[in-house]
Amino acid sequence: MDIHDWSFSYMKHDISGLSFLSYVVDWIVYVAILTVAILFGSVIPPWYHEFSTNDISLMYSHVSEEDTVIPINILLVITVVLPLLQFVLCALYSPSSGTRRAWDIFAGLTCLCGSMATQLMITCVLKNICGLPRPDLLSRCQADIDLVPDEGLSTVAVCTNDNIFLLQEGFRSFPSGHSSTVFCGMVVTSLNIAGKFQVFDKRAMSTKIFLTIVPIIVACFVACTRISDNRHFLRDVVGGAIIGSSAAVWFYSQCFPSVFHLENAGRAYPPRRFGVAAFFNNVGGFWALREKIPGSFMDRILNTRSTLELLKNSDPIVNGEIDNPDELVNIQSNIRFLNRIAPIFKNRTLNLNTKQEETSV
């Protein structure tokens, strides 16, 4: 409650300054992580793990990136363009207001960007730290037989290939970047479809189930091509799938309620709000969105008439500050109201859900 919010208008819409700034910071952090991860995974050389020139698992032929089944440009379409498209289509399918649909699309993009940045950072760091050889390492290395030791393992020093980038990539086997990236994008897609179409309503509608499973099938196909292209071992693909899926589930749960919460109909959490934690048992709050169907998690929104009425009846001091709750519903007036009563709740909380006041130590 020490930081006072402010509001500004854009296209006749009032916007919370603190909330807007927080999302800007999120995107700056995600883009920065993506940039650093890409640079780290392409510029910084990996740890060159020792290997045996007699290891048949490293003797597979090298396939150029252009000749692989899923090159980078196709991977970007699958993991970025397709999820973006499905967020838009699912939002249009939802029986919600235009404001709610726009917000769900933004929340989906934030979820996708955050999860992609996280999984890529983890994958690139692990690739360089592990420095494990790919199945086509010897094809990349072109080892000089005279430099290979008679006993023991060889090092990168025996390689004669002048293409440093190609050689370095030969030591970035674990985990699979294609696998982590495609599972991240496809798991986010699958979860969003499952939520929007209420797949877990126990009615066993095969079409909805199929739409939810298809992204996972696509992810499995892309990941397996990395084995057939001699780029990765099975362990690399499985490790990448775990990393990508974990990042997707984690970020989806931050932006969207559980897909098993059927009444929510796959809608994202409302816009985050600051300065109202004292009213909701110190767990923060949301801004109200224009809804056509009953709102999602309205018990943590302080600019609706019902919640303001509850606040008015819960505290005698605040009661004198609220003449007409309808006048405090819009963002601008609600922020002024909260800034005015903030000193009252500086050292205590008021749980509006249970109407029980708790005094802090």
Using the predicted structure, report yes or no on whether residue 254 has a pLDDT greater than 50: yes
Let me know: does 94 contact 104? Beta carbons within 8 Å. yes
Closest residue by Cα to residue 77 from 180, 186, 165: 186
User: How far apart are alpha carbons 125 and 41 in whole angstroms?
Assistant: 7
Closest residue by Cα to residue 155 from 176, 171, 139: 171
For residue 222, the model assigns a pLDDT of 97
* Positions marked active-site: 178, 232
Helix (H, G, I), strand (E, B) or coil at 94: coil
Environment class of 361 (CB within 10 Å of its CB; exposed 0-12, middle 13-18, buried 19+): exposed
CB atoms within 10 A of CB 162: 8
Question: Residue 170 has which token pair?
Answer: 């030969």
Would you give the distance in Å from CA 180 to the centre of its chain?
13
Per-residue pLDDT of 135-193, as tens digits, reads 999 999 999 998 999 888 999 999 999 999 999 999 999 999 999 999 999 999 999 99
pTM for the whole thing? 0.90
Closest residue by Cα to residue 268 from 108, 155, 74, 68: 108
Which residue carries 């877990």 as its tokens? 200
Using the predicted structure, report yes or no on whether residue 22 has a pLDDT greater than 80: yes
Using the predicted structure, report yes or no on whether residue 358 has a pLDDT greater than 50: no
Using the predicted structure, report yes or no on whether residue 360 has a pLDDT greater than 70: no
User: How far apart are alpha carbons 47 and 15 in whole angstroms?
Assistant: 49
- Across 11-20, 99-108, 338-347, the highest mean pLDDT is recorded for 99-108
Let me know: does 273 contact 283? Beta carbons within 8 Å. no
In the chain, what are the domain boundaries?
A: 14-264, 272-339+346-359
For the chain, what is the mean pLDDT? Answer: 90
Where are the extended beta strands (E) located within the chain? 7-10, 13-16, 272-273, 285-286, 348-351, 356-359
CA torsion 105-106-109-113 (nearest 10°) is -170
User: How far apart are alpha carbons 292 and 272 in whole angstroms?
Assistant: 20
Let me know: does 305 contact 329? Beta carbons within 8 Å. yes
Can you state the angle between helices 17-42 and 98-130, rounded to 10 degrees?
Answer: 30
Environment class of 342 (CB within 10 Å of its CB; exposed 0-12, middle 13-18, buried 19+): middle
Closest residue by Cα to residue 132 from 66, 55, 23: 55
